[in-house]
Structure formats: C-alpha cells, structure tokens
Amino acid sequence: MAVDYLYYLRADKLPHMWCPGCGVGVVVKSMIGAIDQLGWEKNDTAVVSGIGCTSRAPGYMDMNTLHTTHGRALTFATGVKMAAPDKHVIVISGDGDATAIGGNHFIHACRRNIDMTLIIVNNNIYGMTGGQFSPTTPYGAKAATTPHGNIDPSFDLAQLAIGAGATYVARGSVDNARMVQKYIRDGLAHHGFSVIEVLSNCHTQYGRRNKMSDPITMVDWIASQVVPRNKAEKMSPEELQGKIITGELHRNAERPEYTDEYRKLIERVQAKQAARAGARP
Amino acid sequence: MSSGHSDKSEIVFWQGNEVVAEAAIAAGCRFYAGYPITPSSEIAAVMAERLPEVGGTFIQMEDEIAAMGAIIGASLAGKKTFTATSGPGFSLKMENIGYACMAEVPCVVVNVMRGGPSTGLPTALAQADVMQARWGTHGDHPTIALAPAYHREIYLCTIKCFNYAEKYRIPTMLLLDEVLGHLSEGIQVPDPSEYEIFDRVKPSVPPEKYFPYDSSFGDVPPMATYFEGYRFHVTGLNHNRTGFPTTDPEICQQEEMRMIRKVMKDAEQLAEYEEYRMEDAEVAVFSFGSTARGARVAVDEARKQGIKVGLLRAITLWPFPDRKIYELARQVKAFVVPEVNLGQIILEVERASHRDMPIVGVNRVGGVPIPPGEIFNKIKEVARDGR
C-alpha cells in the first residue's frame, strides 16, 4: 500500500528549506517509509537532531521533535530514551554534526548500545555554514577552508561505528533509495544502537567546488563509487581501491541493550531493598 | 556513602553534597546525569546509589556537555532532572544551559565551586563562579541561582531550585562551594510538611490547540510532555509561540523579553536573604555561602567591641536583592563584602546601592576560607575611618 507521507509530515511547514535536489529528501522519505512499514505511532516516536542542514529534518516531521545544539543530539536523545525506554528515539544528523563536534557522543552511544537509531546523512561537507571541509571530505577535495585541496584524512563512519560497538551498522547511498529505506527499517527494528550512514549529495557546497554543481552529476559520482557488499566480497583489493562498500555491514544481537540493563539493575536493587525490609523485625 | 534513607525525625550527619542528593530525591527528581569532577563527585555517587531504589535513572555520561544534554532530554520526557559539577565542568555546561533557557526546559544545575580559572584548585574553596552563573552562557537569559550557607538550608534550597525550575521553565542553579560540599554537619532532615513541591503546569487544552510557547496562558506557558499526544517541536533557535524558528525581529524581541520578564517580575520574592543583627547597624557585611559563616563570627566579635555592625546574608544571588541593598545603603554608612574571589558580587552591591559610599571587599583566592579575623579587622577599619 502506498505510504501517506503527508500523514507523517507537518504539511504547514513546507516547502522545506533544503536546496533543490538535496539528498536529504531521499533520507527523510525513506525514514517515513520505514516508520510506516513498522507501524510506529507518531505519538510514540521522537526525532532528535543537532545543527546543520540535515538537522532541520525533525521540524518537518509530525512527531515529538527536538532540534538541539551542534553535535549534541545523541546526548539529548539518550536522556529522552532513558526517561521513556518503551518509546522510539531516532537521531538524524550530518557528518560534521555527528562525527566532528559530536564525535565523542557518537562513539559512546555506540558503546552503550542504547536502543536508538542514528541516521547520518554524509555529504562530505558542512553545508549550512558555507562549505567547510568535514571529517569525511575526501583527500584532495576543495572546500571553503581547503582552497588548496584537503590534506585531512577522512573517517570511515561505518567502521568507526562498528569499532565503537554499535550493534547494527549499514551504509546506503541516495542513488538507491529502496536500499536506504531497507537499512533504516532494519536499524529501527534492531534492539540496540543502530547506525545507518547514507552517502548523499551536497552539490551546492561540495559539488560546486569540485566540478559537480548539479545534483545529477553528483549523484552519478556517488553511484560510481559504491559497491554492494556481496559484490565487493568477490573483488580484489586493487579493484576495491577508491570504492565505498554499501550494505548491512554489521549486526550483533548478542550484546545487552542499555535500557534493559538499567531496568534489571533497578529490579535487583529493589529486590534487595525489599529483602532488607522483610528481614527487619 | 549515603548514611541516608533516614527516618525523618533523626539527626543525620551528612556532607553538603549528600544533602543535595537526598534533597533532590525528596523534591521528586528521578533522573540524574553527570560526569566525575571534584569537588562535586559525591553527589553523583549518592544519586547512583539512591535513584534505582526509587525507580529513577542515573547515568554517567561521556562528558559534562553530554550530561547537560541528557537532563534536558529527560526533562522533556517528563522527569525532574539535575546534574552537578564544578569549575571546568560548569564552563562546559554553558552551551546547553543556554539551550534550556531558550527552549524553556526545567532542570537544575549544581555547581560546587572550586578554585579557578581553568583546572585551578580542584580540591579547594572558591566563590568565583557567581558571575558565570549569571552570565556564563551567551546571550540574554534569565537566571535563578541560590547560594545556601548551612546544611539544612542546602536541603531546602535544593528543593526550591527544583520548584523554581518547574515553575518558571528554566535551568536553575544551586551554588555551593568546596567547603560546604565537603563539610559534614548534623542536620535534622526537614519534614515534607516544611516545604512545598511544585510540578510544572501541563496543558489544559487538547493537542490541536496546544502551542508550547503560548503566552496567552501567562509568561510561563504550560509545558507538554513528549509521548503524551502533543507532538510539539523544540529548538534552540529563536522561535515563535508554535515552537518553530522565526527571524521576525518583533517576535524575537517579544519572546526574549517574555523569557526575562517571567523571572524578573518575581525578582523581589525570589531574592531571599537573612538579616543578622542589622536593626541599628551602621556597617553592613554582605556575604553568602560558606564565607557568611565566618562573617557571622566577625560580626559577633565586632559587636562585643561596641561596633554597630550586622550581616546581610544573601540566600539568593540571582536575582540579586537590589531593593534590600538600596534600602540598606540609606541606613548604613558602609558595606564590607567578603567573598572568595577578587571582587565579583561587590560589583552588584555597588550597582544596587545607587550611592557613593564606602563599599570595601575582603578577598582571597588561595583556596582557603577567609578567616573571621580578616573580616573583623575590615569591619573595625571601616567603622573607624569610613573606608
């Protein structure tokens, strides 16, 4: 059945503030599709973000929405989730927001394995502030603050998430919206901390400086780099040079989830208390 | 750690930091997020032990900024929340303290003041964050900061901080100092009949008629809780009554003025103080926190020598007791202002006095309390020379 997207959106807030052709639209649409597939109630779902273009997404979603400070979305979200463990919490963030200024919160949310989903729209640039390089800007690329080419090595966000302990990690790209929705759905359904990195286009700030100033050229460039995991497994290291592997990259259903652990801790403490009270004459 | 869970009638022997933790639970706090830092860490340790007993949540976050973010998030989900910190941690909290001001989210921040700037004197006394408590986060914003001096008062002020946070929808501050935080003192835990508990006002209108910053209900709009059907938006950007961003200069000005007004219109009630031997005083000592304990001793000694001196002890630092200072400036001929910093709150005494008169500080920053003798000497000097 067709998804009624407007049911999940605050229609009166449209049109949105993103540039025409921005990849974030694919991600928001996929997110709504995934929520709809899972049958999550709008009242039971919180969408949290930090600062940046991507972080404007919650404002358009008709849910419990929280637009926080730069990089801190996961900290607020952790508070929301711990206070209401039976509710759904989704964080949507850009590459700079989630992994530069928010890098510490990112690795620790992964480590805790708290049942939330982080969607990172990775467009390799700080868009809103005018195109400065981010932790995922490719080597050699031009940005507002790398006029002579970028010399900073970049993060592999999915590998960072896996290393830090996230229990569901997938990477998709906006040229393949169907798979983005599948990964988001699987991440939301996963009981633990899930990270979905979505390679996206900022033709306005990144593309313009790197000979890809229209969205189609830039999405084609993304599509030319990605290789699905099953295909990559059959490729040699030489063939994989400069390629980015997409797909479900990690899943671990064994590690305990954090709010479950805290609930058990409360039960243990209260049982001890009750036993102590019972032992008193 | 906690000798607590007390039978309310008995005398307990608690550190100031333990008093804060126990009072927070009595105030209805069920969520604490923190990060280890001296000299406030005992608060986190007691909360970690006590919160699960009452079904609440303790979480140690990855840093101070995260702890501040977590208590704002949990407050939006309906909990009474707080965090405690000191010195460098207080600096790190400032970003999200401003967020809580702007988004009008109730929460409490405890700062057990230590020597600074920077890492400073982690295990030693200072009272040098009083201006930071008022102005530390960027932009204009309201502040309520209480600075109790005695353990029983710490208990009651902690509860008041939660009440004011809920009543005004702001982050409130409780300022202790290292001496109060670590000093153990016998107190009789106040009985619940001795204090009020205030819970935030929730909307009375259905979700479709609800706006999170609807001032038609007053300067403090009712606050919905996440997941209860209201589906509202919260942002740190300037916003209109609907909670969505705006850059309209008129609306931005109106909303910021409402945020300040909601606190400042009650400034006189909020600005609590204690007067000690002030009836016929010609010299007023103005002090707060642990320094006020020594100041009281100095006042008693000076009185023995026939000097007409009294103590005005601020319990609330922000809003500042402007009117009281103004009135006193017309009764006394001089103020003596001891504080463990190089002269911060004295600036407020000067401002509020609206009078050219001797206002002299007694200041130390080496990490030790100001000896009562130093305050006594200054009282004597001022009483004799008027400066």
Query: Which of these three, B143, B165, B194, is where a domain ends?
Result: B194
Same domain (yes/no): B233, B377? no
Residue of A nearest to B238 (CA): A67
pLDDT at B2: 43
Instruction: Confirm or reject contact between B5 and chain A (CB < 8 A).
Output: no
Chain-centre distance for alpha carbon A280: 52
B245 touches chain A (CB under 8 A): yes
Chain A, nearest residue to B51 by Cα: A266
- ipTM of predicted complex: 0.97
pLDDT at A280: 72
Q: What is the mean pLDDT of residues B15-19?
A: 98
Q: Are residues B283 and B175 in the same domain?
A: no
Same domain, B111 and B220: no
Q: For B72, name the nearest residue in chain A, comparing CA atoms only.
A: A76
**Total structural domains within chain B:** 3
The 3-class secondary structure across chain B, one letter per residue, is: CCCCCCCCCCEEEEEHHHHHHHHHHHCCCCEEEECCCCCCHHHHHHHHHHHHHHCCEEEECCCHHHHHHHHHHHHHCCCCEEEEECHHHHHHHHHHHHHHHHHCCCEEEEEEEEECCCCCEEEEECCCCHHHHHHCCCCCCCCCEECCCCHHHHHHHHHHHHHHHHHHCCEEEEEEEHHHHHCEEEEECCCHHHCCCCCCCCCCCCHHHCCCCCHHHCCCCCCCCCCCCCCCEEECCCECCCCCECCCHHHHHHHHHHHHHHHHCCHHHHCCEEEECCCCCCEEEEECHHHHHHHHHHHHHHHHCCCCEEEEEECEEECCCHHHHHHHCCCCCEEEEEECCCCCHHHHHHHHHCCCCCEEEEECCCCCCCCHHHHHHHHHHHHHHCC
Q: Do B236 and A44 touch (CB under 8 A)?
A: no
Domain assignment of residue B146, yes or no: yes
Find, in chain B, the residue whose alpha carbon is nearest to that of A83. B74
Query: Does B99 contact A at CB distance below 8 Å?
Result: yes
**B378 and B339 in one domain?**
yes
Interface residue B63 vs chain A (CB under 8 A): yes
Which residue is listed with tokens 């009949």? B193
Q: Does B137 touch chain A (CB under 8 A)?
A: no
Q: Specify the CATH number for the domain of residue B146.
A: 3.40.50.970
Contacts of B226 in chain A (CB under 8 A): 46, 64, 80, 84, 87
Domain range for B61? 11-194
- pLDDT over 70 percentage in chain B: 97
Whether B290 and B360 map to the same domain: the answer is: yes
CA distance B100 to chain A (A): 10
pLDDT at A152: 97
To the question of domain A5-256 being in CATH 3.40.50.300, the answer is: no
d(CA B338, CA B343): 8
- Does A266 sit within 8 Å of B78, measured CB to CB? no
Asked if B57 lies within 8 A of A46 by C-beta distance, the reply is: no
Residues B141 and B225 in one domain: no
**Residue-wise pLDDT tens digits, B20-67:** 999 999 999 999 999 999 999 999 999 999 999 999 999 999 999 999
Number of A/B CB contacts below 8 angstroms equals 130
Q: Which candidate from B75, B77, B95 shows the least CB-CB separation from A69?
A: B95
The verdict on a CB contact (< 8 Å) between A65 and B95 is no
Contact between B234 and A66 using a beta-carbon 8 Å cutoff = yes
Among B66, B227, B234, the residue with its CB nearest the CB of A75 is B66
Residues B292 and B232 in one domain: no
CA distances from A71 to A51, A96, A105, A169, B63 (A): 7, 8, 8, 20, 13
- As a whole number, mean pLDDT of residues B346-358 equals 98
pLDDT at B216 over 60: yes
The answer to whether B235 faces chain A, any CB pair under 8 Å, is yes
Q: How confident is the model at residue A278 (pLDDT cuts 50, 70, 90)?
A: confident
The reported pLDDT for the residue numbered B5 is 52
A278 or A281: which leads in pLDDT: A278
The answer on B278 and B215 residing in a single domain is: no
Residue of B nearest to A44 (CA): B227
Residue B211 in this model has a pLDDT that exceeds 70: yes
Which residues of chain A have a CB within 8 Å of the CB of B234? 65-67
- Same domain? B109 vs B234: no
Torsion of CA B234, B238, B239, B245, to 10 degrees: -80
Q: Is residue B76 part of a domain?
A: yes
Where do the structural domains in chain A lie, given as residue ranges?
5-256
| Mutation target among A7, A17, A66, A280 for the B interface, most CBs of B within 10 A | A66
The answer to the question of residue B211 being in a domain is yes
pTM for the full model?
Answer: 0.97
Domain endpoint, select from B250, B265, B280: B265
Contact at CB, A65 and B232, closer than 8 angstroms: yes
For the cut 60, the answer to whether the pLDDT of residue B7 exceeds it is no
Give the A-side interface with B, CB within 8 Å: 13, 42-44, 46, 48, 58-59, 62-69, 72, 74-84, 87, 104-105, 107-108, 262, 265-266, 269-270, 273
Nearest to A273 among B53, B61, B71 (CB): B53
Give burial (CB, 10 Å; 0-12/13-18/19+) of A232: middle
Smallest CA–CA distance from B70 into chain A, residue: A79
Question: What CATH number did the domain enclosing B337 receive?
Answer: 3.40.50.920
- pLDDT over 80 at B1, yes or no: no
> What residues of A are in contact with residue B76 (Cβ under 8 Å)?
66, 76, 79-80
- The answer to whether residues B109 and B67 touch, using CB atoms and an 8 Å cutoff, is no
Using an 8 Å CB-CB cutoff, list chain B residues near A72: 65-66, 69, 95-96
Is residue B231 in some structural domain?
Answer: yes
Average pLDDT value over all residues in chain B = 96
pLDDT in tens, A41-86: 999 999 999 999 999 999 999 999 999 999 999 999 999 999 999 9
Q: B172 touching A, CB under 8 A?
A: no
Q: Are residues B338 and B256 in the same domain?
A: no
What is the per-residue pLDDT for B4? 47
Does some domain include residue B344? Answer: yes
CA distance A209 to chain B (A): 29
Mutate to test the interface with A, among B29, B49, B76 (most CBs of A within 10 A): B76
Nearest CA in chain B to A56: B235
Q: Beta strand pairing status for B57-60 and A244-251?
A: unpaired
In chain B, the percentage of residues whose pLDDT exceeds 90 is: 97
- Mean per-residue pLDDT for A128-135? 97
Residue of A78, A97, A116, A193 to mutate, testing the B interface (most B Cβ within 10 Å of its Cβ): A78
pLDDT digits (tens, 9 = 90+) for B97-123: 999 999 999 999 999 999 999 999 999
| Tokens coding B248 | 């309209």
Minimal Cβ distance to B62: which of A59, A65, A108: A108
- CB pair distance less than 8 Å for B227 and A270: no
- Please answer yes or no on whether A79 and B78 come within 8 Å at the CB atom: no
User: Chain A closest CA to B152's CA: distance in Å?
Assistant: 27
Q: How confident is the model at residue A1 (pLDDT cuts 50, 70, 90)?
A: low
Interchain CB distance below 8 Å, B227 and A75? no
Instruction: Tell the burial category of B53 from Cβ atoms under 10 Å away from its Cβ (0-12, 13-18, 19+).
Output: middle
pLDDT in tens, B170-202: 999 999 999 999 999 999 999 999 999 999 999
Given B265, B289, B310, which residue is the final one in a domain? B265
- Average pLDDT across chain A, whole number: 97
Residues B105 and B219 in one domain: no
Whether residue B292 sits in one domain with residue B257: no
